Structure 1
Amino acid sequence: MSLTIRAARLPPAQSLGRLFALSLFGLLFCVRVLYAGGFDHLVEYDNGGIWKRSNQQVLYYGLIGGEIAGALWFGGEDRLGKTFWQAIDSSALGGVANEALKHVFTRSRPAQSPDPHLWFQGAGHYSFPSGEVTAVTAIVTPFVLEYGREHPAVYALELLPAYDAIARVKVHAHWQTDVLASFALGSATGYLAHSRDSPVILGVLPHGFMVGVRKQF
């Protein structure tokens, strides 16, 4: 009976695919509405203090390293370890989708031109969406969904993608709609990854990854 319940909770691949497609459509629709309303504008350049580029990189690489280290250490047999592996699934899917969108839309960055209307400019123009904001959002979302209701302080993790989004705009790496789209994309991949009982990447790795490093000593 327990096996039947577990199987019923696992969303079919087709349902997940439809949900992701709908999320992507909604993302593009919202961006179109904001874009048409003149939401994008060039802000004053600021690469100092908390907005410094090096701080953005510490956050980005720190979260990527943290999710990998946490997944390897805890494995996938307990709740926390499983959430780390869901974060890896989420960031991997977000990375693939983000890279595809960049090459489809080839939007110029604010650093390349002050005109936010330059889309389909070809190679080297990859403003839309933001890979870093997508990654940060994709990593924290499974933890927010898993622990937020029990521990409301976990919702503070959403401040990380909010900070990164503002910082990326301030250093003229992205437009406002770029980072908003990235937040939506990362949230969608985080939701999809959290919806699965069995993390995808963990499922194709040897059993030792399921157990985790801490239980092997």
Structure 2
Amino acid sequence: MGPPLRQASVFLMGLALAGGAAAAGGPLGIDHRLPLDERGVWARSNQRAVQRLSALTVIGGALWEGDDTRLGRTFWKASEAMVAADLASEGLKHVARRARPEQGNDPNAWFGPGSHRSFPSEEVAHISAVVTPFIAEYGRDQPAVWGLAALPLYVGVARLKSQAHWQTDVLAGAALGAGIGYYEFTRESAWTASIAPRGLTIGLRKRF
């Protein structure tokens, strides 16, 4: 089983355990609203922190390492995957216009007003795209890297508990992010690194 499939299996199992057995509707018949819980670890501020810190980490890592090392290329790929996933999920939101659980508790409410932006989960797509290149690159020789899969799982469950997304929104976000992240992994290098000025891709670490 390859890295993306293993990551997806872990994510699906964790999400199923967190979401319970109830089924209400949606395209897979699994969408139901969870009780609102934004206390402690599930606080909205923690969810935002994961998104912001992941962006700062991969962008900072890419600029520090440059594109000449294995780690640096992985940082660049993760950065590019992150931006692509953010843009793709934003575009899909404008098309799907699905109501969030907090906007009426109807998992079958699609193509509504522009304020309906549930599908897919952009934050889950974002973090899945960030961690997938690292898992795919290092997961075989450094199994501890698989611990990064806990980040998309955490964000997915947190978004469900915030009543901001349905289960299929979260699954779609994970699939979108992981798919883009794995595609970036298969590339020899990130295209953004190939077109960036050499002074940018050489890495701050080498300059100083």
Measured against the shorter chain, the TM-score band is 0.7 to 0.9
Cα shift at 1:37: 4.2
Q: Partner of 1:74 in structure 2?
A: 65
Given candidates 174, 183, 199, the residue that maps to 1:208 is: 199
Kindly indicate whether residue 63 of structure 2 is the aligned counterpart of residue 45 of structure 1: no
Q: Is the partner of 2:120 in helix, strand or coil?
A: coil
AA paired with 1:169?
Answer: L
Q: Partner of 1:127 in structure 2?
A: 118
Please provide the CA RMSD for this pair: 1.0
Distance 1:74 1:47 in 2: 37
Distance 1:78 1:169 in 2: 38
AA paired with 1:41?
Answer: H
Q: 1:98 to 1:36 in 2, by over 3 A?
A: closer
Q: Partner of 1:63 in structure 2?
A: 54
Q: Partner of 1:85 in structure 2?
A: 76
Distance 1:107 1:36 in 2: 12
AA paired with 1:162?
Answer: L
Kindly indicate whether residue 145 of structure 2 is the aligned counterpart of residue 140 of structure 1: no
- Structure 1 stretches of 5 or more lacking a match? 1-33
Which protein is bigger by CA-based radius of gyration? 1
AA paired with 2:145?
Answer: V
AA paired with 1:104?
Answer: V
Q: Is the 8 A contact 1:76 1:209 kept in 2?
A: no
Distance 2:84 2:167 in 1: 22
AA paired with 1:185?
Answer: L
1:147-158 maps to which residues of 2 (within 5 A)?
A: 147-158=138-149
Q: Partner of 1:30 in structure 2?
A: none
Q: Is the 8 A contact 1:42 1:110 kept in 2?
A: yes
Distance 1:36 1:91 in 2: 26
Cα shift at 1:36: 3.9
- % identity of equivalent residues: 46
Cα shift at 1:200: 1.1
- Structure 2 stretches of 5 or more lacking a match? 1-24
Q: Partner of 2:181 in structure 1?
A: 190
For 1:5-33, what per-residue CA distance to the aligned partner results, in whole angstroms no more than 9, with x for missing partners? xxxxxxxxxxxxxxxxxxxxxxxxxxxxx
Q: Partner of 1:116 in structure 2?
A: 107
Cα shift at 1:35: 3.0
**TM (normalized to structure 2)?**
0.86
Distance 1:37 1:210 in 2: 44
For 1:39-81, what per-residue CA distance to the aligned partner results, in whole angstroms no more than 9, with x for missing partners? 0001100010111101111111000011111000000000000
AA paired with 1:109?
Answer: R
Q: Is the 8 A contact 2:78 2:130 kept in 1?
A: yes
